[in-house]
Amino acid sequence: MSNSFKKKKGHVLSKWQGALLSLVIAVFLWWLISLSPSGGKVFASPMEVMGSMMESLKSGSLLQNFWASLKRIIIGFLLAFICSLPVAFILGWYKTICTIVEPWIQFLKNIPPISYIPLVVVAAGVGEESKIVVIFIACFLTMTITIFQGVKNVDSTLIKAARVLGANDFTIFTRVVVPASSPFIITAMRLGLSSALTTLIAAEMTGAARGMGVMIQSSSQYFRMDIVLMGILVIGVLGLILQKLVRMLEKRVADWQDTIVEEG
């Protein structure tokens, strides 16, 4: 029949089967690379990496490093989130403040947060604070800009609709502007967490007793590529888990949307 829809090929795999297959192929490719003479120098084989993972799990060093890093990310991210919300809303709500502050943000957002590390180290030392401060800066700028976009783009007819239904400014803010921006808040969280992860390793390389960044850097000095690779994988998995958590939150608070806001 010439006019029947052509069936798309494939789709015989369920979502989980697809993910599993993807993982298996990735590990297989990795293994192939580790066999090659030049790739083998950098890429320890999957078995080696698993072995060193078991070892460092047993000795407890992996968990200690992981926990140190996770703590920094979470504290830096949460502080940034708490601060970026009011700042973004104030910028979106008060025109004059926005005119003054927006150029600063536009200027700052092009600077990679890791370039502040020397400044922060001088100001806050090499202790725990300086790591958190760097992560905070990275998250805060990203999240403020994203949430601010959301507040600015709130459909003005919705504000009018609320107003003609008797809503005062406070109600318009809490019942219209905030929920209307919630998709952007979620996107901001997602972008903020990525920035946090990106910045974490660099921040930890300024010197710390523990952390995934420290683990990676110190192992690389002994050419323990198995541990380096394991550290990278653990960070990747952590990233996936954090994004998944945000996705779950999104399903709960922004399920009313037609489309999910995608970051660029």
Partner 1 sequence: MTSDVIAQFKNVVKEYHTKNGTTIALNGVNLDISRNEFICVVGPSGCGKSTMLNMLAGLFPPTSGQVLFEGKEVEGTSIERGVVFQQYALFPWLTVRKNIEFGLKQIRVIDSNGKKKGLDKKEIDTTVDKYLNLVQLEDFANSYPKQLSGGMKQRVAIARAYAVNPQILLLDEPFGALDAQTRTQLQSELIKTWEQEKKTCLFITHDIDEAVILASRIVIMSARPGRIKDIVNVDIPHPRDQSTKMTEEYQKIKNYVWGQVYEEYLEVRK
- Using an 8 Å Cβ cutoff, are 201 and 213 in contact? yes
Q: Does 95 bind partner 1 (CB under 8 A)?
A: no
What the block records as the tokens of 256 is 């009313």
CA torsion sign for 37, 43, 46, 49 is: positive
Could you tell me which of 263, 225, 231, 224 has the C-alpha nearest to residue 247? 263
**167 near partner 1 (CB under 8 A):** yes
- For the chain, the 3-state helix, strand and coil shares in percent, each to the nearest 5, are 80, 0, 20
Site for partner 1 in 144-163 (CB under 8 A): 155, 157-158, 160-163
Query: How many residues make contact with partner 1 (CB under 8 A)?
Result: 23
Q: Which of 175, 244, 247, 251 binds partner 1 (CB under 8 A)?
A: 175
Our finding on whether 176 is near partner 1 (CB under 8 A) is yes
Lookup: tokens for 7: 């069936």
Told to check if 75 binds partner 1 by CB under 8 A, we report: no
HSE-up of 139 (CA within 13 Å, CB side)?
29
Counting contacts by CB under 8 A, is residue 252 touching partner 1? no
Binding window for partner 1 (CB under 8 A); candidates: 30-38, 137-145, 146-154, 255-263: 255-263
According to CB under 8 A, which one of 97, 247, 257, 260 is a site residue for partner 1? 257
Name the site residues for partner 1 (rule: CB under 8 A): 155, 157-158, 160-168, 171, 175-176, 179-180, 182, 254-258
